[in-house]
Structure 1
Amino acid sequence: MKLASKLMAAVTIFTVSCLFADAARAESKPNFLIVLADDCTHNDLPVYGGRNAKTPNLDRLASQGLVFDRAFLAEAICQPCRAELYSGLYPMSNGCAWNHSASRSDIRSMPQHLGAEGYRVGLAGKVHVQPRQAFPFESVDGFDKNCVRDPTQPHRLQSALEFMTRDAEPFCLVIALVEPHVPWVMGDASQYPPKSIELPPNIADTPETRRAFGRYLAEITYMDSQVGEILEALDSVGHSDDTLVLFSSEQGSQFPGNKWTNYNTGVHTALIARFPNVVPAGRRTDALVQYADVLPTMMEMAELPYERDAFDGQSFAGVLKGQLNEHRDYVYGVHNNVPEGPSYPVRSISDGKYHYIRNLTNENLYIEKHLMGIKGDGKLNNKYWQTWVYNSFDNPNAYRLIQRYMRRPAEELYDLEADPYEMNNLAGQAGLAEVRSSLSAELERWMKGQGDPGAEQDTVESLQAARQDRHRFGPAND
C-alpha cells in the first residue's frame, strides 16, 4: 500500500472512531452528585440573602448553575425529608412521617429506580433512612455518619473518588454532610464575633443567642469548605461536565421557628443545580418545586423509563434545561411532633406567594424537647432558649417570639414575598378570605388523597406501628 493510501486509511479509521466516540457520548447517561447540608436555614446562605455567613464555594456553584428560589420539602425533620427526597413520595406515601421512624418496606427509592437502569447508587455520610430494603444504597466511606459527634470526624475523599471512577457505568452519589447540625463545634467561630452578627427577625436577641448563632455560622462555612473539596474532586476525575450536581440545605436550623415547624424557614430549602451546557449558568428560577420532584427529574434527565404514578412528585427537567420557569401549583407540608415532644400536628400548603398553615390541635402548647429542654450535661441542647425565657420580662420581642413558637392560632396565612420570616399573620384579613379558603380546600383535598387523618397520625401508636412496618394510615390504607 502506498504511503498516501495508508494515510487515507488511517484518517478514515480515526474519523470513524471519533464518530463512534461522539455517538457513545451522546448516548451516555449523566452522572448525579447530590450534596446535602444538615439543618441549614436556606436564607442564612448569602445566595438566598443571608447577611452573615461566608460561603465562597456555594456562591461559585450558584454562579455556575441554576438557583431555585422556591424549593420546599414536606417535613422539616431530618429523616422524613430525606425519605421524601430519595423516594419521590410524600411522608404519608413513603411511610416516614416522624423522626426516628421508618418508611414502608415495600417502597422503591433511588437505588432501585436508577439501579434498574444501570446506575451505581451510593451514599456517603449521614444515612438516617430505613428500612434497608427500601433504601439499599451502596455505602461509601469518607464522611461522618453521626450528626451529633463532637467533633465531626475528618472527611476523606478517596472512597468517593473510587466510586466515581470505578467502571464505565454512570453513577449517582449522595454525600450527606452533618453540618450545620448541632452540636455547633466545627469551623472557626472567631470569624463571627457575636456583636457583629445580624440576627433574623424570628430569633430573639440575647448574648447567648448571638454566641450560638456565631457557632452555627462557623459550621455553615465549614460545610461550604467541604462542598468546595467535593466539587474539586469531581473535577479532578474529569466528571464535572457530565454530572448533574444538586446542592440542598435540607430543612431549617435548630432555632425556634425553623426546624420542626412548617414555617417558611423550616420547610423552604436551598436548591442549586449545575450541569454544564445543559442547565443555564448564573440564573435563578421562581418555579415551585418540592423534594418529591427530584427523583422523577433525575429519571427524565437521564431519559430513563418510569411510570409517573410511581412518584408523588413530577419532573422539573424542563425548568433545569431553561425551557420553563413554572412547575407545580402547590407545595405541601406536614409536621408530626411525636417523638420530639407532645403531639402537635401541623399541615400546610403554599402556592409560592401565600403560605397557609393549619395547627390541628392549637389548644395545646407546642414543645420541642431538644430545643427547649436539657438532657444530661446539655451537650446537644443550646442554652439560648432559656435566655429568651429569662429575658422575657423586660424584652418584649423575646416574649412575642416565645408566644409565636409555643401558642399558635388554628390558622395562619403569610405573604412570603412581603414577609419571608412570617411575622404578620394575615389569616383574619377579610381581603384575603378567598385566598385562605382556596388554599384550605386544596390542603383538604391533598390530605384526603394522602390518606392523612390529621391529628390521629401524630400519636405514639401511629409511630410505633410505623417502626414495625404496620403503618396505620396512608394512600395504601384507604
Structure 2
Amino acid sequence: MKRYFLFLVFCLCTVVSFAQSKRPNIIFILSDDHAYQAISAYGNKLISTPNIDRIAKSGALFNNAIVANSICGPSRACLLTGQYSHKNGYKVNDGVLDTNQRFLPQVLSESGYQTAWIGKWHLGSLPHGFDYWNVMPVQGHYFNPDFINQKNDTVLFQGYVSDVITQLTKSYLEKRDTNKPFFLVVGEKATHREWLPDLQDLGTYDALKFPLPSTFYDDFKGRSAAAKQLMGIGAVMTLKTDLKIKQPFGEKPSVNNQPQQKAVKGKEIEESILRYYQQGEYARMDSIQSRAYRSYYGQITKEFEKLNLSGNALKEWKFQRYMKDYYATAKSLDRNIGEILDYLDQNGLAENTIVIYASDQGFYLGEHGWFDKRFMYEESLKTPLIIRIPQLPQLKDKKLNQVVSNVDWAPTILDLAGISKPHFMQGKSFLPVLKNPDIKNWKKEGGYYHYYEYPGPHHVSPHFGIRTDNYVLIRFYKGVEAWELYDLKSDPKELDNLIDNKKYSAVKEKLKEKLKALILTNEDKEALAIFNQQL
C-alpha cells in the first residue's frame, strides 16, 4: 500500500511538473516613443518594419490600444501594477516608484515563473520583485550605455544600445532555469529623443521626402489647451541637440572600467569631464562612432547652412530631418526585435513563447505640427500593441478594434499564464477578446485617461477623460480650464471641438455620466473634485 501511495505521489508530481513546463513563456518587448503610425503593419507605406510585422502576421494587432497616462515612466508603472497612476503613485516622469507595493513579477513568481527586466527601466528606484534585472540608469544612452545589475554594479557596455539589449536578452535566455516558464520584459531605449541612429543606419531615409501630415499647420481653433503647448517642431525642436546641426560629437572621458581607452590624468580628466557634461549624450561616443557622426551630420550641416532657411521653410526642413532620424533609429529597433525572434525559433522556444510588442505610449510625427506625446488626442493616446500567441493560431494576422488600455496588460499577462488577477489590479484581462475577436463592446464603460505633469517641459495642461469606440471627452484643468468633445467617426483627426454643439448635447451628457462612473470606480479623488466644478 505504501509503495502504491508513493507511486501515486510520483505520478502526481510528474503531471504537475509537466503542466508547469507547458505553461507559456512570455516576452514583452516595450519600446519607447515608437508611434503606431511608424509601423508598416499599421499601414505606413513609406518605411518597413519587417520584424514587428512578423509578430503581427502570426498574431493579433490592436487598432485601439490606449494608455492611461501618455508619458514614459507612468506607462511602465501601469504595466507593473495593473493600476492607474493615481493608485500606483507614479503620476509624472522622474519620480520614484514606491517598491513597497506588489508588482506583476511577484504575482508571477509566486506561481512558479522566473521573471526578468532588461534595458530601459526609468522608474526612479531599482527594479523590485524580479528574479533577474539589468537596467539602464534614468533614460539610458544610445551609445556605450551604462547598466546597473543586481549586484549594484554599474557597467559600461561598448556598442549601440539596441544591440546591447539584445545581447543581454539572449544571455539571460541561455542561462535561465529551463525547468520553469519565464516572463521577460525587454525595455528598449529606441525611439526616444534625441533619435540617434546606429552607425549602419545613418542616412537610410535621406532619399525620401516625407509628406507633411494634413494637420501640420493646425490653427488649433476651438482648442485652447492645444494652442498653448510647447511641442512644436518649428519653435521647440532644437537644431543642435535634436537635429545635430553644428554638434561637435565629443568622446566620453576614460574611466577605470574602460580598459580599451587610454587613461587620462589631472587636467585632462577635468577637461574630459567638462566636455562630457557640455555635450551630454554625444560625449559617450568613442572615436569611431563620433567620427561617423561628425562626417554624416557635418555634411548635413553644410547643406543646411547653404539653404539659409526661415519661417515655414525652416519648420518643414526640421520636420524632414526629424523623420529621417526617427525612422533610422527605429530601423535598429526592428532589426534587433528580429534577432530576438530568430533566437526563439533557433532554440525551440517559439512554440511555447507568447511575444508581445508595445510602446510606452504614442508619439506625434508632425501631426498638429508636433513631436512628443502627453495629450489625450489619438496619436499620443494610442500605442502599438501586437500579440503572438502560439496557443491561439486563429489569431494569425488578426486586426482587433476593441479598446484596451495599458492598465489591462498585467491582468492579461496573468490570465495568459493561468493566474487569477489579484484584487489590487484595476485593469481587466482582454484574453476573452483574443479568444473571441468578435466580442463587441468589450470595454463598454470606455477607456479612462489622466495626465498630470504641469507645467513640465512641454507645458501641456493636465487633463482626464474617456475614450469610447466613437467618442473622446476631455476635461483640461490648471493651465487651461476647458472641456473638449470629439466624434472619432466624422472627425478622426480631432479638429472640431463639439463641446458646445447642441446636436451633441445628449452625447455629451451621456459621456459625462460614463466618465464620472469611471472616476468613481477607479477612485480618482482629484479628478472627481475637478469634475464637480462648474465651468
- The TM-score normalised by the length of structure 1 is 0.75
Write the mapping of 1:221-232 to structure 2, written as runs, cut at 5 A: 221-232=331-342
> Structure 1 residues 41 and 157 mapped into 2: Cα distance closer, same or farther (>3 Å)?
closer
> Contact between 2:364 and 2:379, CA under 8 Å: does it hold in 1?
no
SS at match of 1:50: coil
Distance 2:212 2:130 in 1: 39
> Structure 1 residues 158 and 211 mapped into 2: Cα distance closer, same or farther (>3 Å)?
closer
1:452 to 503, 525, 529: 525
Aligned to 2:105: 111
How far did 1:430 drift?
2.0
How far did 1:26 drift?
8.2
1:419 to 483, 491, 514: 491
2:62 counterpart of 1:62: no
Deviations 1:369-416 (A, max 9, x none): xxxxxxxxxxxxxxxxxxxxxxxxxxxxxxxxxxxxxxxx71222233
Aligned to 2:280: none
Deviations 1:23-81 (A, max 9, x none): 92587211110001101121222222224332111122211100111111111100001
2:507 counterpart of 1:435: yes
Aligned to 1:299: 414
> Structure 1 residues 222 and 147 mapped into 2: Cα distance closer, same or farther (>3 Å)?
farther
SS at match of 1:246: strand
Write the mapping of 1:363-402 to structure 2, written as runs, cut at 5 A: 363=480
> Structure 1 residues 207 and 79 mapped into 2: Cα distance closer, same or farther (>3 Å)?
same
How far did 1:191 drift?
2.7
SS at match of 1:347: strand
SS at match of 1:269: coil
2:169 counterpart of 1:160: yes
> Structure 1 residues 345 and 228 mapped into 2: Cα distance closer, same or farther (>3 Å)?
same
How many positions carry a matched residue from both structures? 391
**Letter aligned with residue 183 of structure 2:** C
> Contact between 2:36 and 2:42, CA under 8 Å: does it hold in 1?
yes
Distance 1:225 1:92 in 2: 36
User: Which consecutive residues of structure 1, in runs of 5 or more, have no partner in the other structure?
Assistant: 1-16, 364-408, 458-478
2:389 to 275, 296, 320: 275
Aligned to 2:474: 357
How far did 1:290 drift?
0.6
**Letter aligned with residue 118 of structure 1:** G
Deviations 1:237-282 (A, max 9, x none): 2111111110002212366265122211112111000012325111
> Structure 1 residues 355 and 328 mapped into 2: Cα distance closer, same or farther (>3 Å)?
same
Deviations 1:291-326 (A, max 9, x none): 11111111112212343x321111111122236534
Aligned to 1:136: 129
**Letter aligned with residue 316 of structure 1:** F
**Letter aligned with residue 334 of structure 1:** H
CA RMSD between the two structures: 2.8
SS at match of 1:447: helix
> Structure 1 residues 454 and 109 mapped into 2: Cα distance closer, same or farther (>3 Å)?
same
> Contact between 2:415 and 2:431, CA under 8 Å: does it hold in 1?
yes
Higher normalized contact order (CA 8 Å, seq sep 6+, divided by chain length): 2
Aligned to 1:237: 347
Aligned to 2:194: 183
2:130 counterpart of 1:149: no
1:290 to 390, 398, 405: 405
SS at match of 2:402: strand
How far did 1:148 drift?
5.5
> Contact between 1:39 and 1:181, CA under 8 Å: does it hold in 2?
yes
> Contact between 1:181 and 1:254, CA under 8 Å: does it hold in 2?
no
> Structure 1 residues 268 and 104 mapped into 2: Cα distance closer, same or farther (>3 Å)?
same
Aligned to 2:373: 259
> Contact between 1:123 and 1:176, CA under 8 Å: does it hold in 2?
yes
Which one is further off, 110-119 or 25-34? 25-34
2:23 to 20, 26, 29: 29
> Contact between 1:194 and 1:211, CA under 8 Å: does it hold in 2?
no
SS at match of 1:47: helix
**Letter aligned with residue 453 of structure 1:** E
**Letter aligned with residue 501 of structure 2:** Q
